[in-house]
Structure 1
């Protein structure tokens, strides 16, 4: 049974049509590929100029003329009611709806039309097959968080079941938890690991300390895929030693899908089928291959919502070996999260606060940005930018979420600022530990 494909079809995402479209795109010759990209860029821009009042006002253009004249879109630009951002003919009834805060600490709600969402998954499935992983058949050990509210938890577990994912929650990564993880691998036939780099790295360190090789414990294991945070080469080597399988780097964002994926030749191939990725300097000028700058992503097929020259929040370099059809991500800066260490011995990944974000996010976008700073073993400061002070009810909801996701009896200090301090690269780190 093709469970993955069936689940998309049941949710009215046209995965068969998306797979055929992907195949046709990949059959375009290298010589004609730049023309394909230029045509798709012009088509998606003109679509939104004609059908999306938000983008027409944002771009200040009547029709598409020059790519580099189009304004760069940031997460702040998208922090307004979703209905104001949808294209004509789209509503919450015929789109894929998602929420994001990512590692940037700038939350917003996004939308994709059903075909664009299906195409995203067609790309994922094709990339995973490079390494012998079939999303219809392969069982995933999923090192992610999970919603803790009743309905959110049930919904996520149902999606896990039909997607052949077995959840390894990362909210508490104590030694006891690691032992529980190990027992699950001893009694299950997992094909691959997928999840946050930091959480998987802790598990690998635990195995190395115990002088265990996970492949010997779980012989069915074939691969480990890490995402959402930077994977350093030394950490990759440590993981491969602990797991006994290749470790593959994935780079993506929920609002655009898969951005880059590592192949068997250790090249980080950029998704040039349904995305256009460019690198720009501090003055927003496109940079040639081999030079470092800010990463912009354009969704070439999302007609429900404009994602055009969208600044993802990272910096990187496209290799000099890149071509329009085969761009290679040489280097990525960012997405490395600290850990929170609590008085009771718990170790919490910084991305845990991503789930706190999801539990308090508002479509109105009143909370523009925030960071969480740990100043003591039981003391955290939430520094935020908002159009108004958090109300007592909002603070209660945040405290409730932190109690649920992180721990109880923590001291939480709320501090509203006009702006937040960023790193030299312009990145806003969502979690910082000062202990």
Structure 2
């Protein structure tokens, strides 16, 4: 029995209808695809202008002659009761309701109508299928968080069983715990690994230390799919070496859909079936493909709740070679709030610090993981987990590198801890500015 499909149907999500609709979209020829996008944009806009008072109020007194005149919707705009934002005919009882992780600093509750949410799953099924995976039968090794209250914990375990997956809770990633994770790969026939990048990276480092290639002990493994956190090239190389399988980068947003997914040719394919994605500058002007800016997304099918020109909070580039139907994400820089303003006035992506220090700090092999915080304009703190304290020599190397790539006069504090604090979900934020 197709348990995963069955559970979706049980919750009222028309998954079979959604799968067929996705096939119809994918069958549209390239020459006609721009028309399909324009029609869906106009259709979803007209729907919300007629049936959604929240969106009508947002446009009040605004002169709109073309798509680009529409306001860019921010997360702050959505921080009000969900009932105020739902379209006519939709209530919290007949839609899919969830909450964003709050990684942008602006958490909110959102809704999708049930067909829209079924389409989301159809896109996910399609992308995972590129690697021979089937949610109804492929066995997943899941590196995720889990509710720690008794009811939530067992509810999640039951969902895992129904969804053909085995969960490795990531709140304790000591060597002893990772040893127990490894034992499961000897016993179980996993088809793929899925979960947060930082946790999976820790497991790979553990295997490296033990000189183990995971596929040697679990030959059924096909692929590893990482999500929710940045995947750096050297991390990808480490995972592929220690797991002995391809590593795929997934980029999504719970309130929207799967945004991009790496295909077997290592191209980051954007979702043009259910989303319209734009890149804009700080003034909200649309930038041509090939230029870096804020990622703004329109959900073409969500009638329950408007996500029209929604600022996701991320920065990226759409490849200049993209067409209306075939679009590729050339680069994902990070979140718009993950920037550091230095004393000189220079503004840099916060992950620059992470890039600069990563190779140095991990060179010894003693450091398991680390995060960086900007505590004041000129002060940064690196908190790390390691088997030994970083040497003064290594600390000086990091300071020299930061001076070289950023600017002089920055203060740097290093703090060793036993475990890094993760969010409730289990995510780890690699850089954060408190300024």
- TM-score, normalised with respect to structure 1: 0.78
**CA shift for structure 1 position 106:** 1.6
Kindly state the Cα deviation for residue 163 of structure 1 after the two structures are TM-superposed: 1.0
Contact 2:196 2:227 in 1 (8 A): yes
Moved more, 54-63 or 271-280: 54-63
The residue aligned with 1:139 is 139
- Tell me what 2:300 maps to: 300
Distance 1:42 1:188 in 2: 49
Change (3 A) 1:159 1:62: farther
Select between 170-179 and 13-22 the one with higher mean Cα deviation.
170-179
Are the aligned partners of 2:298 and 2:309 in contact in 1 as well (CA < 8 Å)?
A: yes
CA distance in 1, matches of 2:123, 2:422: 37
Equivalent pair of 1:48/1:306 in contact (CA under 8 Å): yes
Partner of 2:278, secondary structure, is: strand
Aligned residue for 1:270?
270
Q: Does 1:310 align with 2:310?
A: yes
Structure 1 segments unaligned to the other structure (5+ residues) = 339-344, 351-372, 379-401, 407-428
In the alignment, does 2:103 pair up with 1:103? yes
Provide the residue aligned with 1:21 in structure 2: 21
Inter-partner Cα distance in structure 1 for 2:281 and 2:384: 40
Cα RMSD for the two superposed structures: 2.7
- Counterpart CA distance in 2 for 1:88 and 1:309 is 21
- What is the deviation of 1:293? 0.6
Q: Does 1:54 align with 2:54?
A: yes
For residues 27-66 of structure 1, what are the structure 2 equivalents within 5 Å? 27-60=27-60, 65-66=65-66
Shift in Å at residue 103 of structure 1? 2.6
Decide whether aligned partners of structure 1 residues 232 and 219 sit closer, same or farther in structure 2, where only a CA change above 3 A counts.
same
Q: Would the aligned equivalents of 2:289 and 2:320 in 1 still touch at CA under 8 Å?
A: yes
Q: What SS is found at the alignment partner of 1:168?
A: strand
Indicate how the Cα distance of structure 1 residues 403 and 114 shifts in structure 2: closer, same or farther if over 3 A, else same.
Answer: closer
Corresponding position of 1:130: 130
Distance in 1 (alpha carbons) for counterparts of 2:382 and 2:206:
26
Q: State the alpha-carbon separation in 2 of the partners of residues 201 and 104 from structure 1.
A: 23
Gaps of 5+ in 2: 336-350, 355-365, 372-379, 386-420
Instruction: After superposition, give the CA deviation of every residue in 1:159-211 in whole Å (9 maximum; x if it has no partner).
Output: 21111121111112111111111011111111000011111111111111111
Contact 1:374–1:432, Cα closer than 8 Å, also in 2: no
Given that residues 370 and 382 in structure 2 are in contact (C-alpha distance below 8 angstroms), is that contact kept between their aligned partners in structure 1?
no
Following superposition, the deviation at residue 257 of structure 1 comes to 1.5
C-alpha distance in 2 between matches for 1:433 and 1:249? 25
Mark the CA change 1:83 to 1:136 in structure 2 (over 3 Å): closer, same or farther. Answer: same
Q: 1:61 to 1:48 in 2, by over 3 A?
A: farther
1:46 and 1:63 in contact (8 A); partners too: no
Cα distance, 1:155–1:220 mapped onto 2, change above 3 Å: same
- Confirm or deny: 8 A CA contact 2:368 2:384 kept in the other structure: no
Q: SS where residue 316 of structure 1 aligns?
A: strand
TM-score, length-normalised on structure 2? Answer: 0.78
Residue in structure 2 matched with residue 392 of structure 1 by the alignment: none
Is 2:370–2:383's contact at 8 Å kept on the other side of the alignment? no
2: CA distance between counterparts of 1:57 and 1:229?
35
CA drift of 1:101 comes to 2.4
Higher mean alpha-carbon deviation, 295-304 vs 142-151, is at 142-151
Displacement after TM superposition at 1:150 (Å): 2.5
The residue number in structure 1 matching 2:197 is 197
Residue 18 (structure 1) shift: 0.3
Tell me which residue corresponds to 1:332. Answer: 332
Q: Structure 1 residue 232: deviation in Å?
A: 1.1
2:287 aligned partner: 287
Q: 1:140-219 counterparts in 2 under 5 A?
A: 140-219=140-219
Q: Distance in 1 between the 2:327 and 2:213 partners? A: 35
Greater RCO structure (CA 8 Å; 6+ sep): 1
Partner SS, residue 13 of structure 1:
coil
Whole-angstrom distance in 1 between the partners of 2:181 and 2:276: 38
1:110-151 CA distances to partner (integer Å, 9 max, x unpaired)? 100000000000000011000101111101111111111223
Partner secondary structure for residue 182 of structure 1: helix
1:148 and 1:405 in contact (8 A); partners too: no
User: In 1, are the aligned partners of 2:369 and 2:384 still within 8 Å (CA)?
Assistant: no
